[in-house]
C-alpha cells in the first residue's frame, strides 16, 4: 500500500512538472512574439533629392537617392504634370549595397520640355516596389553656364542630402567628374566638376582640397559619338579602375595595385554610347590616364614603340612596318624616341601551312617571340648581337605573331624572320602525345643528337610528362663492316636499320642499356629509333660505333662527369691531343666535355714510366688500378708514375675532362729496364679518322635545338 502511494505521488509530480514547463514555454513564445511585433518597424521610405535646379535645355539635373532597394536598377522619368501619360524614360542608374545612388539627368533640348513651367522627375526601382518624385521649375531661357571646376555638391554629415538655396546649374562639355571622400563611390559626391581629359597624376596629393590624399574615389561619365568600328579602350591606373560602355563592364581592375595599363577591344555600332570610368585610390601614389581609339588595320606589322625598356604604358609611336628588320646602330627608331632605353612591339596575323617552322631573331639587346601568345623565343636580357632560332610545329590557318624587343644602351638592332622546314640536317624528331606513336605528331623538330634525360619533365611544351612517344629518323653514311649500335632508355625503345628490327625492347622498365652489332656495307643506311615513356623518369640516348678498334676506343661526353651515353665513339690512333681553345669534334662543345680512352697494351716484363699531360683533370688506370689521379681544374700539367708490370696484355684507361679555357690530353710510356724508347712519340695533334657518324651537342629537352639553315650532308662522316 505504501509503495503504491509513493508511485502515485511521483507520477503526479512528474505530470505537474511537465505541464508547468509547457505553459512556461508557451508564455515565453508569446512574449517573444509580442516583443518582436513591438520592435519590428517598417523600412524607411525611399528618399529622393534634386540637388540642383531649375531645369533648362541642355542642362543637367543631379538626383541623389537613399534608402532604396540595394543593388538594383532605377529608372528616371520626366513627367509633364499638365498632361496625362506624358512620362518619358531619360536615363537609368544602379543603387549600391547601401541602397544609395547618384544619377546625372541630361535635360532635353526639344521644345516640348522647355515650354512647361514645371517638370516632375520620377524615379522607380526595377522591381516596382520603390518610387519617388520631385517637381522642379523649368527656365524658358538657357542661363550662361558656369566654367571651370566649380564644386557642385559638398558632402555633409546628414545621411539625407538636402538641396541648398545657393546651388547653381552647371553643364558638362567634357567629362562629368564626381569625386567621393571614400573608396566605394558611395554617398553624396564631395566634388562635381567638368574634366576636359581623364589624365591625372596626383602623386601623393589629392584631386582637390575638398578630398583626402588617400581613401577617395571618382566617377566620370559622358555620352560620346562613335563610328561603327572596333575601339581599343586603354587605361593606366593606381589603384583600381572600372570602365563601362552603355553600362556593360569592359575593364575590371577594381583592386589595390601599383601603376599598370589595361586594354580592351570593343566593337561598337555607329552612334552615341555612354562611357563611364570609375577609380579608387587606397594609399600612396594615385594616377589615372584613360583614352580610346579605333583599332586601325595594319597591312604588314603593327609597330608600337615605347620610351621605356618594359614595353609598358602607352606607346609613343604606332606605325605600319613592312618588315621587322632594323639596324639602328647607336641611333633611335624615330626622333620621338631616345637612342637608348626604348622598347618595341610588333604584331600581326599571318597564314601558315601545316608544318614545322623555324623562327629566327637577331637582336641587340633583348627579344621575345610569341606565336598565339605562346612564347617560342625568350632572350629578354642585355647582350650584344646574337641569333636565336626555334623550330615550332603549326597547323594550317592564321596564327598571331608577336615580337618584342628592348634596347638598353649602345648598338640597337632587330631582325626577325621565319621559314618552313623542309629538310632535317640531323635527326628528324617526331613527338607524339600518346604512347604508341599514333596520330599526328604534336611536335616535329631537328634534333642534333638523341641524348636526352628529361627526368620527370616533358620534351617540350604541348607534350605530357608521361604517356608520350617519339620517333627519330636519319640516313647515316657508314664506313662498312661490323658496327655496334648502343641505346639507353627508360621505358621502351626500338632500333631499325634499313627496315630490319635490330633492337626491340618495347616494354616498361627502368633505365637500361642495350648493345647490338650488325655488319653493314659501306654507304648510306636509314636508321629509325622509336621510344615511348609510360610514367616516372624519361630518358633515351643512341650512339653507333665500330665494333672493334685498332687504336684507342675513344668515348666523348657532353658533360664533365663522363655521365650517360657518349655522343661520339670513334677510333683514335694516338692519345696525343692539343685542342687549345677548340673542341675535339663538331658535336663536342669547346668547354664542358669529358672523354674516356681505353685499349689493351701487350708489354714485355719490366718497369714502365707513364706520363700524362692534361688540362684540366685526368686519371690513369692500368689493370684497373688508379696510377695517376689529378681529377681537378688546372692549367697544363704533366704527371708521371712508375709501375712494375709483367709481360703480356694490360688494360689501360685514361679519363679526362675539360672545364674551360685551353684543353690538352696526351699519354706516353717507356720501359726503364732497358733503353727508354717511348712506344708513342708525341706529335702534333693529328686528325683522327672517323669511322662513325658524329651526333650534335644535345639540346635542352624543353626547347627545340637551334640549328643553321639546311646544308648538303657530307658523303662520308
- Across residues 493-500, what is the average pLDDT? 95
Rounded CA-CA distance 677/650 in Å is: 19
pLDDT digits (tens, 9 = 90+) for 655-677: 999 999 999 999 999 999 654 44
Same domain, 181 and 285: yes
Residue 683 belongs to a domain = no
- DSSP letter at 112 equals G
pLDDT digits (tens, 9 = 90+) for 2-16: 444 444 454 544 544
Q: What is the pLDDT of residue 58?
A: 66
Give me the percent of the chain exceeding a pLDDT of 90. Answer: 55
Which of 262, 295, 328 marks a domain boundary? 295
Q: Which stretch, 104-108, 173-177, 514-518, 610-614, has highest mean pLDDT?
A: 610-614
Same domain, 179 and 162: no
Same domain, 437 and 410: no
Give me the percent of the chain exceeding a pLDDT of 70. Answer: 81
Q: What is the pLDDT of residue 697?
A: 35
Q: What is the pLDDT of residue 109?
A: 67
Largest separation between any pair of C-alpha atoms in the chain: 138
- Across residues 191-202, what is the average pLDDT? 93
Residue 3 belongs to a domain = no
pLDDT digits (tens, 9 = 90+) for 393-413: 999 999 999 999 999 999 999
pLDDT above 70: residue 685: no
Same domain, 164 and 73: yes
Nearest to 693 by CA among 444, 449, 445: 449
Q: What is the pLDDT of residue 96?
A: 83
Q: What is the 3-state secondary structure (H, E, C) of 569-611?
A: EEEECCCEEEEECCCCCCCCCCCCEEEEEEEEEEECCEEEEEE
- Across residues 638-657, what is the average pLDDT? 95
Same domain, 255 and 348: no
Better-predicted residue by pLDDT, 287 or 564: 287
The CATH number of the domain holding residue 185 is 2.60.120.260
Which of 139, 155, 170 marks a domain boundary? 170
Residue 1 belongs to a domain = no
Same domain, 517 and 439: yes
The CATH number of the domain holding residue 638 is 2.60.120.380
What the block records as the C-alpha cell of 484 is: 655496334
Same domain, 409 and 511: no
The CATH number of the domain holding residue 82 is 2.60.40.1930
Which of 392, 420, 448 marks a domain boundary? 420
Same domain, 156 and 230: no
Q: What is the pLDDT of residue 125?
A: 84
- Domain coverage including residue 581: 574-671
Q: What is the pLDDT of residue 425?
A: 82
What the block records as the C-alpha cell of 572 is: 683514335
Same domain, 198 and 278: yes
Residue 709 belongs to a domain = no
Same domain, 339 and 277: no
Rounded CA-CA distance 300/418 in Å is: 15
Same domain, 254 and 326: no
Split at pLDDT 50, 70, 90, the class of 57 is: confident
pLDDT above 80: residue 646: yes
Residue 368 belongs to a domain = yes
Q: What is the pLDDT of residue 560?
A: 94
Which residues are registered as beta bridge partners of 267? 230
**Total of domains in the chain:** 5
Q: What is the pLDDT of residue 122?
A: 85
**Dihedral angle sign, alpha carbons of residues 531, 534, 540, 545:** negative
Same domain, 408 and 443: no
Residue 522 belongs to a domain = yes
pLDDT above 90: residue 162: no
Measured between alpha carbons, how far is residue 14 from residues 3, 9, 21, 25, 538 in Å? 17, 9, 11, 17, 79
Split at pLDDT 50, 70, 90, the class of 347 is: very high
Residue 374 belongs to a domain = yes
Residue 369 belongs to a domain = yes
Rounded CA-CA distance 378/461 in Å is: 14
SS3 650: strand
Amino acid at each position: 500500500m505504501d509503495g503504491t502511494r509513493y508511485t502515485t505521488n511521483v507520477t503526479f509530480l512528474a505530470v505537474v512538472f511537465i505541464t508547468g514547463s509547457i505553459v512556461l514555454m508557451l508564455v515565453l513564445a508569446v512574449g517573444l512574439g509580442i516583443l518582436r511585433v513591438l520592435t519590428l518597424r517598417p523600412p524607411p521610405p525611399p528618399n529622393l533629392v534634386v540637388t540642383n535646379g531649375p531645369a533648362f535645355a541642355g542642362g543637367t539635373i543631379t538626383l541623389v537617392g537613399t534608402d532604396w532597394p540595394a543593388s538594383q536598377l532605377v529608372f528616371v522619368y520626366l513627367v509633364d504634370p499638365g498632361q496625362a501619360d506624358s512620362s518619358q524614360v531619360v536615363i537609368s542608374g544602379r543603387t549600391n549595397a547601401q541602397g544609395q545612388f547618384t544619377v546625372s539627368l541630361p535635360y532635353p533640348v526639344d521644345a516640348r520640355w522647355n515650354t512647361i513651367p514645371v517638370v516632375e522627375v520620377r524615379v522607380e526601382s526595377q522591381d516596382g516596389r520603390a518610387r519617388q518624385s520631385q517637381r522642379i521649375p523649368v527656365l524658358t531661357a538657357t542661363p550662361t553656364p558656369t566654367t571651370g571646376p566649380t564644386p557642385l555638391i559638398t558632402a555633409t554629415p546628414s545621411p539625407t542630402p538636402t538641396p541648398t538655396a545657393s546651388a547653381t546649374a552647371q553643364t558638362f562639355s567634357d567629362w562629368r567628374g564626381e569625386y567621393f571622400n571614400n573608396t566605394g563611390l558611395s554617398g553624396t559626391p564631395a566634388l562635381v566638376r567638368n574634366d576636359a581629359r581623364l589624365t591625372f597624376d596626383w602623386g601623393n596629393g589629392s584631386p582637390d582640397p575638398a578630398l583626402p590624399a588617400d581613401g577617395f574615389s571618382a566617377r566620370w561619365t559622358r555620352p560620346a559619338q562613335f563610328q561603327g568600328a572596333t575601339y581599343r579602350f586603354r587605361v593606366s591606373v593606381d589603384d583600381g579602375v572600372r570602365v563601362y560602355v552603355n553600362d556593360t563592364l569592359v575593364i575590371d581592375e577594381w583592386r589595390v595595385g601599383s601603376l599598370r595599363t589595361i586594354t580592351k577591344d570593343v566593337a561598337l555600332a555607329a552612334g552615341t554610347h555612354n562611357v563611364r570610368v570609375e577609380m579608387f585610390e587606397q594609399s600612396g601614389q594615385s594616377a589615372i590616364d584613360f583614352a580610346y581609339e579605333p583599332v586601325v588595320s595594319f597591312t604588314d606589322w603593327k609597330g608600337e614603340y615605347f620610351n621605356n625598356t618594359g614595353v609598358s604604358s602607352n606607346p609613343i609611336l604606332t606605325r605600319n612596318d613592312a618588315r621587322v628588320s632594323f639596324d639602328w646602330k647607336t641611333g633611335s627608331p624615330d626622333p620621338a624616341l631616345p637612342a637608348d632605353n626604348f622598347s618595341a612591339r610588333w604584331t600581326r596575323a599571318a597564314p601558315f601551312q601545316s608544318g614545322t617552322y623555324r623562327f629566327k631573331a637577331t637582336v641587340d639587346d633583348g627579344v621575345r617571340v610569341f606565336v598565339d601568345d605562346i612564347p617560342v623565343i625568350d632572350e629578354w636580357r642585355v647582350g650584344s648581337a646574337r641569333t636565336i632560332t626555334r623550330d615550332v610545329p603549326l597547323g594550317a590557318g592564321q596564327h598571331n605573331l608577336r615580337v618584342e624587343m628592348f634596347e638598353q644602351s649602345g648598338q640597337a638592332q632587330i631582325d626577325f624572320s621565319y621559314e618552313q622546314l623542309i629538310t632535317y640536317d640531323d635527326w628528324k624528331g617526331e613527338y607524339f602525345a600518346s604512347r604508341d606513336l599514333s596520330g599526328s605528331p604534336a611536335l616535329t623538330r631537328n634534333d642534333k643528337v638523341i641524348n636526352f634525360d628529361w627526368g620527370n619533365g616533358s620534351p617540350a611544351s604541348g607534350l605530357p610528362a608521361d604517356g608520350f612517344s617519339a620517333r627519330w629518323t636519319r640516313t647515316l653514311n657508314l664506313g662498312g663492316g661490323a658496327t655496334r649500335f648502343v641505346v639507353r632508355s627508360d621505358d621502351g625503345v626500338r632500333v631499325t636499320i634499313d627496315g630490319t628490327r635490330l633492337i626491340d625492347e618495347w616494354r616498361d622498365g627502368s633505365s637500361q642499356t642495350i648493345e647490338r652489332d650488325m655488319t653493314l656495307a659501306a654507304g648510306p643506311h636509314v636508321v629509325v629509333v622509336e621510344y615511348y615513356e609510360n610514367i616516372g623518369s624519361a630518358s633515351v640516348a643512341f650512339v653507333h660505333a665500330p665494333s672493334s678498334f685498332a687504336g684507342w676506343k675513344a668515348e666523348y661526353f657532353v658533360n664533365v662527369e663522363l655521365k650517360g651515353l657518349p655522343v661520339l665513339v670513334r677510333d683514335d690512333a694516338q692519345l696525343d691531343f692539343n685542342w687549345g681553345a677548340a673542341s675535339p669534334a663538331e658535336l663536342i662543345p669547346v668547354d664542358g666535355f669529358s672523354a674516356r680512352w681505353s685499349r689493351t697494351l701487350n708489354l714485355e716484363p719490366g718497369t714502365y714510366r707513364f706520363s700524362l699531360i692534361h688540362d684540366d683533370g685526368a686519371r690513369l688506370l692500368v689493370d684497373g688500378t688508379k696510377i695517376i689521379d689529378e681529377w681537378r681544374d688546372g692549367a697544363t700539367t704533366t704527371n708521371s708514375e712508375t709501375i712494375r708490370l709483367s709481360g703480356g696484355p694490360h688494360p689501360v684507361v685514361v679519363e679526362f675532362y675539360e672545364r674551360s679555357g685551353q684543353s690538352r690530353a696526351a699519354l706516353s710510356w717507356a720501359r726503364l729496364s732497358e733503353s727508354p724508347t717511348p712506344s708513342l712519340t708525341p706529335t702534333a695533334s693529328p686528325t683522327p679518322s672517323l669511322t662513325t657518324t658524329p651526333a650534335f651537342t644535345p639540346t635542352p629537352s624543353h626547347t627545340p635545338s637551334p640549328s643553321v639553315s639546311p646544308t648538303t650532308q657530307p658523303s662520308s662522316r
